[in-house]
Amino acid sequence: MSGSPTKCNLLLIRDHSRFTTHDSRFNLLPYICCTTLAMINPDILLKAYRLMCMAKSIAETYEANRSICKYVHSTSRGHEAIQLATAFQLLSCDYVSPYYRDESMLLGLGFSPYELMLQLLAKGDDIFTAGREYYAHPNYNGTDKPRIIHQSSATGMQVIPTTGIAQGIQYLENHLTDNLTKGINGELPVVICSLGDASITEGEVSEAFQVAVLKKLPVIYLVQDNNWGISVTAEEARAMDAYEYAGGFPGMERVRINGSDFEESYDAMRRIVQYVRQHRSPYLVQAKVPLLGHHTSGVRKEFYRSETDWSTHLKDDPGPKLRQRLVELGIAEEHLIQVEKSSAEDIARQFQQAVVAAEPDPSTIAHHVFAPTPINEEKGERTPARKEKIPMVDAALFAIREIMEEFPEAILYGQDVGKRLGGVFREAATLAEKFGDHRVFNTAIQEAYIIGSTVGMSAVGVKPIVEVQFADYIYPGLNQLVSELSKSCYLSNGKFPVQTLIRVPVGAYGGGGPYHSGSIETTLLSIKGIKVVYPSNSADMKGLMKAAFLDPNPVLMLEHKGLYWSKVPGTEDAKSVEPSRDYILPLGKGSIVLKADQSHLDAGSTCCIITYGMGVYWAKAAAKHFPGQVEIIDLRTLFPLDEELIYQTVSRHGKCLVLTEEQQNNSFAEALAGRISHHCFKQLDAAVEVLGALNLPAVPMNMILESAMLPNTEKVKLRVKKLIEY
């Protein structure tokens, strides 16, 4: 992309003397400018012009073929200059997160119009998502271009995963250099996060900015400011622009540039990328651009834009500006006409090719929901001889310690998990001392960042283990879990599964009150693309924690606070002997924690209880009143679910209670009961019973009220009696 003009281009340039410096613009580039705007190789200007012509033809082609281009799409018209200028700076070791209007950036990175059009038309050969995602929602994992993680359409949300990439890169750079991919000349990678001006007002953006400046991350936030957020104007939506906002984050370098001027944009981005490559600290670029297309193919400009607004934007069309500049530089008119003509022909040809490309094969619909896990068998010694029993909290701690000893790419972060406290439940105690603050560290109170950053960490090969302090506070992080983590593997067609382990203390006991007692499994299980584990004893905790860590997908480990130390009467069995170091328990395998007697089974006087977590202990206590008549299944993993064990067990007993700590209505337990009724209909001798907590909005603080709300041994006993006597 750099170097001297080719012979051919030298012939086209009539007047070299008109390469000028542009001193008046330097005030736009504080901190990084030297004294002249560097001369840009005419090859680059011509390449940019050709790609701008292509982008224009693309927009015109889509507009002229609206019935064919039926899926919603946005084009880059108006934003071409800054997008191309940015793309031209990047190396294959870099990462970029374009947003849905970054079509020209994709062309600049080297993707062909045909490749983009396959996504436009949701064709089977779409290299990004195989027909699953909108236009200009790329993801790319090759080695010849910058890598692109999966993009959601949620405005501004990619800022957290992308900042996570930069944080992951920083970890590799400082502590695992051999794992870091550098440029061919040893260049360090930079990360570009591109977004529209209206997206900056999303709250999650501030979490990412905070981390970027706090940790000095090598990330460039490129804000393309066209003054619109669909029909909402900047004046309506913001008290400050992105540049001013960035001023509130000390350490964030910032600049405003004219993003419709290719030369200015190119020069600025070249310097900024170089700066971040060397200085390893964040930068915000606010590029002013016109919006010269519809917001999307569906939301048409005529609905809300005035003639005056349109004509004002049109004056800044980057294409004619660059053309004018090329003419000034002496590029022959005939050559420019030839570029325009051949670009249009190229686009027409590639569009026709894309139109006739094959549709996706419907049999691939369920491919890549998850990446395959290597852990499918229980291995190692679950109950080594002569060992003390340990509480669940220690089993979790020891599992993480062994993981971190074995995997230098494993890091642990969350609120209060660092050295000073080691977790509010001491569930991470001693880890920071042992592994250092760089591997075990506190975060701010930023559940969105804690969860969402793992997307980027995982993409660069760091293996994050994160903690959300209480289940009741997972909600600020749910957006990232749903919009980004859960969909990444499926929508990238398997290219970007998110390997992360998210620890979440859950459950009620001893007056924790309404915001420290919640259960969240039903909420989590409504999300497809994540796994949910819920151990009820130390051996399972350790074995499942290992399997969850090695699973290449997002796994949430729900850890019941009432079982952590077996302090709740009746939960002593949650303590068990610590399994061996190599013990591992695959996800998705339930266990029979109590078996019914064959004699009772033969007499038809038994039932089974399907449960998990604290339910295991209520069930065991209740079963003591019906010796030999109750079989108890501990699910251990809620997704994937051991349906085989459940259906086999229910079929043998014909009577079943599904028991949960959650509020009952519309719970996972009720859904499971429905599935059991369907699968085991012919073997059932009674309707499937469900017992959960009362349907209240929260667990009340007072302990008498708390226990009135929750299931307990007595309540379980009554249901078992009813079933057995049925």
Residues known to be catalytic: 516
The single residue listed with the structure tokens 């309540």 is 715
- Interface segment toward ligand TPP; rule CB under 6 A; list 36-44, 190-198, 492-500, 598-606: 190-198
Structure tokens at 284: 């915000």
Q: Is 230 in the site for ligand TPP (CB under 6 A)?
A: yes
Q: Is 197 in the site for ligand TPP (CB under 6 A)?
A: yes
From residue 477, alpha-carbon distances to 384, 484, 485 in Å are 39, 11, 11
Of the residues 98, 196, 293, 711, which one makes contact with ligand TPP according to CB under 6 A: 196
Of the residues 65, 153, 526, 598, which one makes contact with ligand TPP according to CB under 6 A: 153
- Interface segment toward ligand TPP; rule CB under 6 A; list 18-26, 151-159, 618-626, 671-679: 151-159
Q: Is 155 in the site for ligand TPP (CB under 6 A)?
A: yes
Interface of this chain with ligand TPP, residues 293 to 322, rule: CB under 6 A: 295
Of the chain, the end-to-end C-alpha distance in Å amounts to 80
From residue 459, alpha-carbon distances to 140, 453, 480 in Å are 11, 10, 15
The single residue listed with the structure tokens 């890549």 is 368
Nearest to 282 by CA among 313, 317, 240, 247: 247
**Residue 661 to residue 520: CA distance in whole angstroms:** 10
Of the residues 72, 154, 214, 621, which one makes contact with ligand TPP according to CB under 6 A: 154
- Report the residue number, 229 or 554, with the smaller CB distance to ligand TPP: 229
Q: Give min distance, CB of 455 to ligand TPP, in A.
A: 16
Q: Give min distance, CB of 225 to ligand TPP, in A.
A: 7
Q: Give min distance, CB of 295 to ligand TPP, in A.
A: 6
Of the residues 194, 199, 286, 454, which one makes contact with ligand TPP according to CB under 6 A: 199
- DSSP output for 279-298: H---EEEEEE----S-SSSS
Of the residues 226, 286, 453, 566, which one makes contact with ligand TPP according to CB under 6 A: 226
Of the residues 90, 118, 188, 198, which one makes contact with ligand TPP according to CB under 6 A: 198
Q: Give min distance, CB of 309 to ligand TPP, in A.
A: 13
Cis peptide before 586 (omega within 30 of 0): no
Please give the DSSP secondary-structure letter assigned to residue 484.
I
Please give the DSSP secondary-structure letter assigned to residue 239.
S
- Report the residue number, 158 or 443, with the smaller CB distance to ligand TPP: 158
Nearest to 127 by CA among 140, 110, 108, 113: 140
Q: Is 126 in the site for ligand TPP (CB under 6 A)?
A: no
Beta bridge partners of 442: 414
Interface of this chain with ligand TPP, residues 627 to 656, rule: CB under 6 A: none
Q: Is 101 in the site for ligand TPP (CB under 6 A)?
A: yes
- Report the residue number, 170 or 265, with the smaller CB distance to ligand TPP: 265
Q: Give min distance, CB of 235 to ligand TPP, in A.
A: 13
Task: Please work out the total of residues on this chain that contact ligand TPP, with binding judged by CB under 6 A.
Answer: 14
- Report the residue number, 226 or 453, with the smaller CB distance to ligand TPP: 226
Tell me the residue nearest to ligand TPP as measured from the CB.
196
Please give the DSSP secondary-structure letter assigned to residue 580.
P
Q: Is 228 in the site for ligand TPP (CB under 6 A)?
A: yes
Which residues fall within 8 angstroms of residue 697, CB to CB, at 6 or more apart?
none
Q: Give min distance, CB of 234 to ligand TPP, in A.
A: 9
**Residue 726 to residue 474: CA distance in whole angstroms:** 41
Q: What would the x/- binding string for ligand TPP be over residues 45 to 84, using CB under 6 A?
A: ----------------------------------------
Beta bridge partners of 283: 220, 253
Burial class (CB in 10 A: 0-12, 13-18, 19+), 167: buried
Q: How do strand 531-533 and strand 463-467 relate by DSSP bridges?
A: unpaired
**Residue 603 to residue 597: CA distance in whole angstroms:** 10
Please give the DSSP secondary-structure letter assigned to residue 699.
-
Q: Which residues bind ligand TPP (CB under 6 A)?
A: 101, 153-155, 195-199, 226, 228-230, 295
